[in-house]
Structure formats: structure tokens, C-alpha cells
Amino acid sequence: MELHPNWLRGAEALPDRLAQSVDWRAERRAMYDRVVDVPRLVRFYGEGEPLPHPLITQGLSLLSDHFGAELGEPFRTVGMCRYRDGSDSVAWHGDDIGRGRTEDTMVAILSLGTERTLLLRPRRRPGGAGRSASLRFPLGHGDLIVMGGSCQRSWEHCIPKSARARGPRISVQFRPRGVR
């Protein structure tokens, strides 16, 4: 895990720009016997799909240049989440749909707008010891967090609800092919 505070400098207008220009999608999912709203808006850009802002396109290529050697391949997809306020969140999970379940991989997340905290904790193995404390990473505007190696299959992460966060946050996730 690597944290790069202020990886993107300035670009104060970017979160608003993205909030307005992206065709955000509200998703719903089955939970027990009900269908509930996913508590955030999302948009996923597959490989080769035009990205919504030149800074995102630039970010994808800069990150590929910088981490490509370690990763062994470029970042190819861009996922975005919009947390409208502190009541939006993402539950504990690993990005382990696809190759991340079995292979080492890398996911880089650029945080824009209001600061929110990302929590990381080791996954519990069946019969394993009790929960260890989670690690807290407050992510402010322009901060980049990079989760590499076995992080997606041996750890899980979440963005908890926050009573303090009033403004919106957008996260931009850069991932290699086949990781979600």
C-alpha cells in the first residue's frame, strides 16, 4: 500500500466538472429479500472508452508509466464513484471480481473533493484469529492511494458513512485489464 498525498495538485474545479459532465448511474442490488439502492453513484469506463476529462486520461497514462514496470502491464479501465455526502458509502470488499481473486494486481485510487476515510483490514480466514484493528487513511482532494500485490484478495477496504463529511467526493479507480 502506498499513499501519495497531493498527487494531483490544484484541479479544484475537477470534482464539480465531473459531477456535472459524467452520466452517473444509480445502481440497485438485491439484499436478502429486498432490492436496495447502492449508496453512491457510479460510472465504469471499459478499456478504450473515451474518458470524461483530459486530466483523467493523463492520470491513466502517468500511472501506467510509473507503476507499469512493477505491475507488468498498464492500467486500462477507470471506475468512478460519487459520494454525494457523508451518508453515501461503500461496504467492506476487495476488488476481487476477476483476476484479483487469484493473482497479484494493483488498484490506484485518486480522491477528489471532500475528504473521506478509507479503511483497510486483513480478511478473516476461516478459523482464524479475531478481527485486528483496521488501518485508517483519510483521503483528501488530490490524494492517491495505491493498493498492490495481494491486497485485493488478502485485505478488504471500505469507505464508511461519515457524519462530518457534508460535501461530495469522487473517487477515480485505475485498474488493469480483468480486475474489478
Give the residues lining the site for Fe ion (CB under 5 A): 95
For 66, 99, 104, the CA distances from 150, given in Å and listed in that order, are 19, 11, 5
In the complex, what is the shortest distance from the CB of residue 33 to ligand AKG, in angstroms, rounded to a whole number? 26
In the complex, what is the shortest distance from the CB of residue 139 to ligand AKG, in angstroms, rounded to a whole number? 6
Q: Which is nearer to ligand AKG, 14 or 90 (by Cβ)? A: 90
Q: Which is nearer to ligand AKG, 55 or 145 (by Cβ)? A: 145
Which of 86, 171, 176, 179 is close enough to bind ligand AKG by CB under 6 A? 171
* DSSP alpha helix (H) spans, the chain: 14-21, 54-71, 151-154
Q: Contact at 8 Å (CB) between 39 and 87?
A: yes
* DSSP alpha helix (H) spans, 2-91: 14-21, 54-71
Q: Contact at 8 Å (CB) between 75 and 62?
A: no
Q: Which is nearer to Fe ion, 17 or 24 (by Cβ)? A: 24
Q: Which is nearer to Fe ion, 88 or 95 (by Cβ)? A: 95
- The reply to whether 95 sits near ligand AKG by the rule CB under 6 A is yes
113: partner contacted, choices ligand AKG, Fe ion, none (Cβ within 5-8 A by kind): none
Tally of helices (H runs) and strands (E runs) in the chain? 3, 11
Q: Contact at 8 Å (CB) between 156 and 57?
A: no
Q: Where does this chain bind ligand AKG (CB under 6 A)?
A: 79, 81, 90, 95, 109, 118, 157, 159, 171, 173
